[in-house]
């Protein structure tokens, strides 16, 4: 089994599995990766949209002919051929052929996705994170912590092959709080991939490395960066 992962931009990724190309939170794609997959026509495109925020959703994805679209219910995607659009509520699951999709919650808008296909469990967090802002009120930050703990209860105990999770530079000293809390409750076996930088790419702290020395990481630095997992 071979998986190729391409960083599109921000929280957007293309994950090529044995049978399809999963495209998560397409915002923009300066490297033209998704268009190249469409032109090649070897594998179908499956688009996932966690929520409507403009840094996670671009209406242009509707123009990729023949694609499958799975979106959170707050996403307004028009002009998609009948039978190609699946609108999901948080905590719902659906099965499309050999693929199972479950939408989990978020601590912002929309949800997060678990996709089970080709023997893989792939999780994309969307805007699920511990949004602790250092300059915010104690009340708001207590609410942010409670929201994160509430959503992690739904994920606790699970094992993912690949997981994409935010590490937002604007959170400053709290940048790693979410990803540490995520790894406290779930296991990631093949690759944890940071996203949603809003600033400098994340470089794990010594504290993170000491707490999670065995978690495999891939840290994309530039649009179009790629990694391959599994066999050739």
| CATH number of the domain residue 188 falls in | 3.60.15.10
Q: Which domain holds residue 95?
A: 2-230
The DSSP line for the chain is: -EEEEEEEETTEEEEE-SS-EEEES-S--TT-HHHHHHHH-SS-EEEEE----TTT--GGGGGSTT-EEEEETT----SPPTTSEEEE-TT-EEEETTEEEEEE--SSSS-EEEEEETTEEEEE-TT-S----TTS-HHHHHHHHHHHHHHHHHHTT-EEEEEEEE--GGGGGGTTHHHHHHHHH-EEEEEEEEE--SSSPP---HHHHHH-TT--B----STT-EEEEE--
Task: Tell me the average pLDDT of the chain.
Answer: 95
- Is the confidence at residue 1, as pLDDT, over 80? no
Q: What percent of the chain has pLDDT over 70?
A: 99
Looking at the structure of the chain, the number of domains it has is: 1
- 158-12-38 Cα angle (round to 5): 110
- Is the confidence at residue 78, as pLDDT, over 90? no
Query: pTM, whole model, 2 decimals?
Result: 0.97
Contact 5, 231 (CB under 8 A): no
Per-residue model confidence as pLDDT tens digits over 93-146: 999 999 999 999 999 999 999 999 999 999 999 999 999 999 999 999 999 999
Q: What is the mean pLDDT of residues 191-213?
A: 97
Q: What is the mean pLDDT of residues 5-18?
A: 97
Q: How far apart are CA 175 and CA 182, in angstroms?
A: 13
- Is the confidence at residue 163, as pLDDT, over 80? yes
pLDDT top residue among 196 and 82: 196
Q: What percent of the chain has pLDDT over 90?
A: 91
The DSSP line for 154-197 is: HHTT-EEEEEEEE--GGGGGGTTHHHHHHHHH-EEEEEEEEE--
Size of the chain, expressed as the number of residues it contains: 232
What is the CB-side half-sphere exposure of residue 1 using CA atoms within 13 A?
A: 11
Give the pLDDT of residue 104: 98
CB atoms under 10 Å from CB of 214, counted, come to 7
Tell me the two tokens of residue 79.
């002009």
The gap between the terminal CA atoms of the chain, to the nearest Å, is 8
- Is the confidence at residue 82, as pLDDT, over 70? yes
- Interior/surface letters 39-57, b for 16+ CB within 10 angstroms, e for the rest: eeeeeebbbbbbbbbebbb
Give the pLDDT of residue 232: 47
- Is the confidence at residue 231, as pLDDT, over 70? no
């Amino acid at each position: 089994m071979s998986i190729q992962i391409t960083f599109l931009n921000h929280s957007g990724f293309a994950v090529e599995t044995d049978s399809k190309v999963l495209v998560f939170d397409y915002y923009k794609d300066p490297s033209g990766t998704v268009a190249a997959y469409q032109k090649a026509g070897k594998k179908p495109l499956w688009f996932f949209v966690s929520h409507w925020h403009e840094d996670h959703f671009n209406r242009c994805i509707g123009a990729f002919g023949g694609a499958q679209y799975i979106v959170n219910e707050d996403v307004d995607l028009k002009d998609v051929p009948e039978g190609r659009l699946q609108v999901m509520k948080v905590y719902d699951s659906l099965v499309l052929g050999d693929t199972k999709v479950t939408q989990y919650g978020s601590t912002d808008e929309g949800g997060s996705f678990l996709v089970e296909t080709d023997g893989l469990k792939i999780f994309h967090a969307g805007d699920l994170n511990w949004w602790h802002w250092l300059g915010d009120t104690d009340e708001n930050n207590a609410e942010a912590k409670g929201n994160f703990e509430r959503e992690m209860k739904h994920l606790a105990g699970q094992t993912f092959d690949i997981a994409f999770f935010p590490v937002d530079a604007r959170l400053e000293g709290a940048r790693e709080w979410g990803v540490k809390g995520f790894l406290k409750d779930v296991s990631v076996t093949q690759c944890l991939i940071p996203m949603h930088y809003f600033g400098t790419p994340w470089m794990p702290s010594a504290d993170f490395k000491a707490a999670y020395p065995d978690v495999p990481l891939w840290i994309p630095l530039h649009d179009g960066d790629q990694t391959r997992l599994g066999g050739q």
